Structure 1
Amino acid sequence: MLQNMRNASQHWLGKIVMTIVFTLLIAGVAIFGVEEFFRGGSSTAVATVGRTPISAEAVRAAYQNQLQRYQQQLKRNLTPDQARALGLDRQVLSQLVTEASLDQKTHDLGLAVSDAAVLRAIHDEKSFQNAEGRFDPQLFYQTLQRAGLNEAMFVREQRAVIARLQLAEAVAADITVPLALREAVHRYSTERRAAAYLMLPASAAGEIPAPTDEELKSYYEGNAAAYRAPEYRGINLLVLDPDALAKPEEVGEDAVRKVYEGQKERFGAPERRTIQQIVFPDESAAEAARKQIEGGDKPFEAVAIERGTDAKDLSLGTLSKAELFDPAVADAAFALQQGAVSQPVKGRFGTVLLRVTAIEPATLKPFDEVAPEIRKQLALQRARDSIDTIHDAVEDQRASAKPLADIARERNLPLVSVAAVDSLGKDPQGRTVEGIPDADTTLAAAFRSEIGGDNEPLRTKTGGYVWYDVTRIDPAHDKPLAEVRDPVAAGWKSAETARRLAAKGKDLSERLDKGEAIDALAAEAGIAVQKAEDLARNQPKGDLTADIINRIFATNVDKAGSAASGDARAVYKVMAATMPAFVPGSQTDKAIEANFRTALSDDVLGEFIAEVQKSAGVSVNQTNFRRAIGGEY
């Protein structure tokens, strides 16, 4: 059953089951405690599906779990506003409502999961199995203890999970993909076309005179948005960065030397040895072989061959002591002289004889060589340790409404002052503004703020903080024609060129449809005819873009058309269309059927859950919802 659950996790239902249910269980227990999580507390429900409530504790736990996952992926903290902008609150509520819908329906249908099914599912779970693949009770209880659960709670939750999955499987199992759909997909994906075409360059539009004032004004008014000045903001940034705060020159030599002496393995390479090994069934056989080798009766390699060890498998490799898995073998190998054969060694996988054929001595970089690196690391660690103290001090000063510029000057912290920047990080001249830490996050926050706003500091990817103040706002506005006359003229010329090429392309394609030869039209235009074969939908080929190829597929065979291609325009005629025969039951057909069965199952499940919610009724208490996730809208 759990294997089915793992398979189901490939689509959204599995994510509901595995991501929401189990991780919600763990996260909720970790945050609120075992008894309170399962009891639901005394809080008013955030939402109800039929008679199934969704508690504030469940919403809060799921929201915090989702928030932590996003922050781990983004490698930075998210403010409440940023989390809401990403829609995390709506995602969590939607997922919990879906889960509650399944619970309500299983209850209405009287579905029950037997103890034997739950026990079998737990025994089949890989997380509770030992190295031999058998259920390990001790591992099971240890896992539950780490999650703060007891056996009864876990079994109860797993019973609910299995019931939800069984309901979903009953609804969407054995979905049949219609033959007509499979054949249509086959035709769409396997059809190939051939076309002959001309590529009209921009020069084919002819000489384009300068626009009149009226033409320029008309074009400008129709495309004013393209010449609109974006909103610019002036911002001050107080940057608290560990790298900037680090002062390697203040780290004393004693501290550096202490690290060097205590962590010498970091600054060199350990001794490595090339080791050979022969495995024997017991100690007496190994001792007899050792005597033959030392007595000169048989060389080491000959004994290995007698034991069925191939020459290329004789060596374990050139390894350090730590890289040897078996401690007994490691100790014996690193106690040998080069070329010597060991006494029989009782290892984990049998009794062995060892021989060391080469020794690479350990190396250690001198103190003076690594001291700057150690000093820099110590300084950076001290800076990171002091970050929170400085943060609290800055926050105290911010609470008294002190400007960032004054705080930066008093605390000798770097202040980044930006006179004007748009939301994309460009200045009014279109150049990228340098020096803004984590620019995407910082600019997004600054453009949501206002002058004099009380802004929370942003956490940087390096573990520091950025405080920001908006000092000026220049609203977005239309630039006057006089200010943008040259780019408007260039835009008009480009549009006029495209218009003329489109008219020429239409004329040529109409002549092709009337029966004129494409070679004759090409000679007339002074352009070479090109041919393309084996064209597939959505796949660019040569100088034909995916858009042009899709236009070719939308045109009947022996018909012509034209399409824009950057500054040029393609005029084409479809020469042929081929498609392999559709064979029901073929490997291609089976692949199509498998892909669309999943999609159809998802659609059916979605419709089923929507109908359950419609029949049972869903109510959401927005006030309790806002309280549960911690914030106001």
Structure 2
Amino acid sequence: MLSFFRRFTKSRFGLIAVFVFLAIIALAFAAGDITGARSTVGGAGGNVVAKVGDRKITDREVRERIDIYLRNLQRGGQNVTMEQFLAQGGFEMALDEIINNAAMVQFAQDSGMQVSKKLVDGDIASNPAFFGLDGKFSQKQFEDLLSQNRISPVAFREDIANTRYSSWMLNRATLGSQIPDGVVLPYASLLLERRMGTVGLVPTIAMDPGADPDDKTLTAYYNSKRLRYMVPERRIVRFAAVKPDALKARTAATEAEIANAYKKAGNRFAATEKRSIRQLVILDQATANRIAGEVRGGKTLAAAATGAGLETTSFDGVEKPALAGQTAPAVADAAFAAAQGAVVGPVRSPLGWHLLQVEKIEQVAAKTLDQARPELATEIGARKLAETLAQLRQSLDDGIGDGKTFDEAVADAKLVAERTPALTPAATNPDDPNFKPDPLLVPVMRAGFGIEQVDDEPQIVPLGPDGSFAVVDLERIVPAAARPLAQIRARVVKDYLVEQALQKARTIATAVVAKLEKGVPMQQALTESGVTKGPPPKDFDFKRAEVLNRQLAPYLQMAFSMAPKKAKLVEGPNREGFYVVYLAQVEQHSAAGDQAAMARVRGEIAPQVGGEFARQFVASVRSQVKVSRNEKAIQQLRADLARTGTASGS
């Protein structure tokens, strides 16, 4: 989900690309997909959430930034809700990147840096998104793309200039990243570190949650956990699919078309001869004569070639004109004049000297019209079907471009319109777990979520490699909202009771931690604290290198960040309870002299050094320019996003 962006920004080039992606739509252009991106040049309306020098950053900008994130994730097939986005730190990441970009621009301009008009012109002219059919920059393509995405040329050019500032400074700031042994050694030694201890579980299921909540308590709990019960934004989409199977009857080849194609086929269906030939090409005639003698003496051509350090090639079922085209006319003449099994050559060509062995001769009889009919019918039908699909799609596209509504375009093309239920971008129905959509609905729904608002013009989207497509129209947007308490009362009661049991488990786990740090053994501490159910305590003994890059349980992850003779607790997944970890011993080992360990760590650290330098540089820039945050406005914006479940205006 958002982990891709976090990983990407850990490199120097990742940070530069993030400025490009988030400040303008260049990354989307490079990917060939600019749908839905908007200009993010700041200051246009909204509450001010931060200031960088004289530059005001508004809540509208942050909403647009988050909208870009979510749309790109959805186009990648990830159905990310606003709740998930906020829970994974997406809000802070988006706001921070806007501030970083503004700070870099402010610092560059304060330092006297300038991006010339000529340089911006060059960036635009070299962007493949703006190329025409001739592969060169097209002013019309440039203007059309910006117009489609509601971006003014002035704003776009300003964004390119701002991105140039960031690229220049980050590239220069991250030059030179040699890592001395003194830096590598502590990290390499960590790989040899050994940690031993014990882990126990205080399970939620063993706790008494108490009585069911009354209405007032349940309502308060539901309101505090409303995000947990959110249903993501859904959309109702109308579409009309065009599938090749529905057109095959009217695009079938006629007898006249088949007869005409047979007449124009020339020698295609005439009697012919095909041969399978093994060939060896040698650069000099003397070697060719020697190998030819070996073959005529009983060796196979392949064996003789191998003995000379060479390799043969084969032509299977080839006709004479095709062989002449791949070798030379003289070679084809010699090969087709020889008997089966014969060795021919050396024959000279521009490639060298050819030795040929005729391995098989196949006489192919001529085909009558009746014999050729199935083959020609298939070819003609496929061609007519492709032409019909293309013409129908072009006609629909032209009609929509001329202002036809969905209903008008579908009626004129004599298509059948269908309507989806309220579905997510992945074509799932949160209200019906048993809903199994046609796989073709997935691209339809993605297109529906790509339409900005109801009454925007319909879209035409491909449905599969067979040429099928659909006309898609957005009928209604169902905003993200929490399910009504009355509808999910039993589920909320269950969640409440689990939460109560989990809190009791935490209280007991805290008491166990206190006992462990007084020297009480794990099993005794659990028993004395009232834990009589659940799995027995388990000892662990790991070297850090043994668990590196492995998916560890949370309690084992915590064990590698604890001090010895200490205990900590950590909540288990799915609210199963609290794990209590006691770290009994840590064995330290030095990697000095262990060149393999040093090289391994240096190789793992090196890719991160540039990114770290870049982050430190950005932090230094932020300290140099005046940055202020309006925490009240920020919290209000976050709350609005959580409440509405969408980045569009509340």
What TM-score results when the alignment is normalised by the length of structure 1? Answer: 0.60
Structure 1 residue 223, shift from structure 2 partner: 1.0
Structure 1 residue 386, shift from structure 2 partner: 0.4
Q: Using the alignment, how far apart are the partners of 2:557 and 2:515 within structure 1?
A: 22
1:211 matched residue in structure 2: 213
Q: Using the alignment, how far apart are the partners of 2:562 and 2:610 within structure 1?
A: 34
Are 2:200 and 2:581, in contact at CA under 8 Å, matched by a contact in 1? yes
Which amino acid in structure 2 is aligned with residue 381 of structure 1?
A
Q: Using the alignment, how far apart are the partners of 1:545 and 1:376 within structure 2?
A: 58
Q: Using the alignment, how far apart are the partners of 2:407 and 2:311 within structure 1?
A: 70
Q: Using the alignment, how far apart are the partners of 1:510 and 1:611 within structure 2?
A: 43
Are 2:564 and 2:583, in contact at CA under 8 Å, matched by a contact in 1? yes
2:406 matched residue in structure 1: 404
- Answering whether residue 278 of structure 2 is matched by residue 275 of structure 1, we say yes
Structure 1 residue 340, shift from structure 2 partner: 1.3
Are 1:240 and 1:465, in contact at CA under 8 Å, matched by a contact in 2? yes
Quick one: which of 121, 125, 146 aligns to 1:61?
125
1:299 matched residue in structure 2: 298
Q: Using the alignment, how far apart are the partners of 2:362 and 2:391 within structure 1?
A: 43
Q: Using the alignment, how far apart are the partners of 1:102 and 1:534 within structure 2?
A: 43
Q: Using the alignment, how far apart are the partners of 2:431 and 2:195 within structure 1?
A: 47
Q: Using the alignment, how far apart are the partners of 2:362 and 2:202 within structure 1?
A: 69
Identity of aligned residues (%): 17
Quick one: which of 551, 555, 558 aligns to 1:551?
558
Are 1:248 and 1:378, in contact at CA under 8 Å, matched by a contact in 2? no
Quick one: which of 440, 443, 450 aligns to 2:448?
443
2:462 matched residue in structure 1: 460
1:211-610 correspondence to structure 2 within 5 Å? 211-239=213-241, 247=249, 249-255=251-257, 273=276, 275=278, 277=280, 281-282=284-285, 298-301=297-300, 309-310=306-307, 316=313, 319=316, 321=318, 326-327=327-328, 332-333=334-335, 335-346=337-348, 350-357=352-359, 367=372, 370=375, 373-374=378-379, 377-392=382-397, 394-395=399-400, 398-399=403-404, 403-422=405-424, 425-427=427-429, 429-430=431-432, 431=435, 434=438, 436=441, 438-439=443-444, 441-446=446-451, 448-450=452-454, 453-455=455-457, 457-460=459-462, 467-520=471-524, 525=533, 527-534=535-542, 536=544, 545-563=552-570, 564-569=572-577, 570-578=579-587, 580-583=589-592, 586-590=595-599, 592-593=601-602, 596=605, 599-601=608-610
2:73 matched residue in structure 1: none
SS of 1:443 mapped into structure 2: helix
Structure 1 residue 221, shift from structure 2 partner: 1.9
SS of 2:520 mapped into structure 1: coil
Q: Which runs of 5+ in 2 are unaligned?
A: 1-10, 21-25, 30-107, 133-141, 625-650
Structure 1 residue 571, shift from structure 2 partner: 2.9
Deviations 1:47-102 (A, max 9, x none): 9974552246435425554899xxxxxxxx997599689x9999986665565799
Total equivalences in the alignment:
493
Are 1:281 and 1:350, in contact at CA under 8 Å, matched by a contact in 2? yes
Aligned pair in 2 of structure 1 residues 278, 197: CA closer, same or farther (>3 Å)? same
Q: Using the alignment, how far apart are the partners of 1:613 and 1:51 within structure 2?
A: 19
Which amino acid in structure 2 is aligned with residue 345 of structure 1?
V
1:183 matched residue in structure 2: 185
Aligned pair in 2 of structure 1 residues 376, 198: CA closer, same or farther (>3 Å)? farther
Which amino acid in structure 2 is aligned with residue 300 of structure 1?
K
Q: Using the alignment, how far apart are the partners of 2:222 and 2:516 within structure 1?
A: 36
Q: Using the alignment, how far apart are the partners of 1:54 and 1:246 within structure 2?
A: 55
SS of 2:179 mapped into structure 1: coil
Structure 1 residue 449, shift from structure 2 partner: 0.3
Structure 1 residue 277, shift from structure 2 partner: 4.5
Q: Using the alignment, how far apart are the partners of 2:201 and 2:192 within structure 1?
A: 27
Structure 1 residue 412, shift from structure 2 partner: 0.8
Aligned pair in 2 of structure 1 residues 488, 310: CA closer, same or farther (>3 Å)? same
2:13 matched residue in structure 1: 12
Structure 1 residue 292, shift from structure 2 partner: 8.1
Aligned pair in 2 of structure 1 residues 299, 424: CA closer, same or farther (>3 Å)? closer
Structure 1 residue 593, shift from structure 2 partner: 4.2
Are 1:272 and 1:362, in contact at CA under 8 Å, matched by a contact in 2? no
Aligned pair in 2 of structure 1 residues 356, 553: CA closer, same or farther (>3 Å)? same
What TM-score results when the alignment is normalised by the length of structure 2? Answer: 0.58
Structure 1 residue 576, shift from structure 2 partner: 3.8
Q: Using the alignment, how far apart are the partners of 1:537 and 1:500 within structure 2?
A: 36
Deviations 1:537-595 (A, max 9, x none): 895999x8443322111222233333213343433322443454233793443454466
Deviations 1:268-295 (A, max 9, x none): xx95636264958425x7557757876x
SS of 2:345 mapped into structure 1: coil
Deviates more, 1:514-523 or 1:494-503: 514-523
Structure 1 residue 417, shift from structure 2 partner: 1.8
Q: Using the alignment, how far apart are the partners of 1:313 and 1:231 within structure 2?
A: 66
Aligned pair in 2 of structure 1 residues 250, 587: CA closer, same or farther (>3 Å)? same
Q: Using the alignment, how far apart are the partners of 1:469 and 1:381 within structure 2?
A: 24
Aligned pair in 2 of structure 1 residues 193, 491: CA closer, same or farther (>3 Å)? same
Q: Which runs of 5+ in 1 are unaligned?
A: 1-9, 28-46, 69-76, 106-166, 616-633
Deviations 1:3-41 (A, max 9, x none): xxxxxxx9639999xx9xxxx9xx9xxxxxxxxxxxxxx
Aligned pair in 2 of structure 1 residues 63, 13: CA closer, same or farther (>3 Å)? same
Are 1:246 and 1:376, in contact at CA under 8 Å, matched by a contact in 2? yes
SS of 2:342 mapped into structure 1: coil
Which amino acid in structure 1 is aligned with residue 13 of structure 2?
W
Deviations 1:472-529 (A, max 9, x none): 4554444442222112112213323332333333333333222222354578546333
Q: Using the alignment, how far apart are the partners of 1:479 and 1:101 within structure 2?
A: 44
Aligned pair in 2 of structure 1 residues 65, 92: CA closer, same or farther (>3 Å)? farther
SS of 1:342 mapped into structure 2: strand
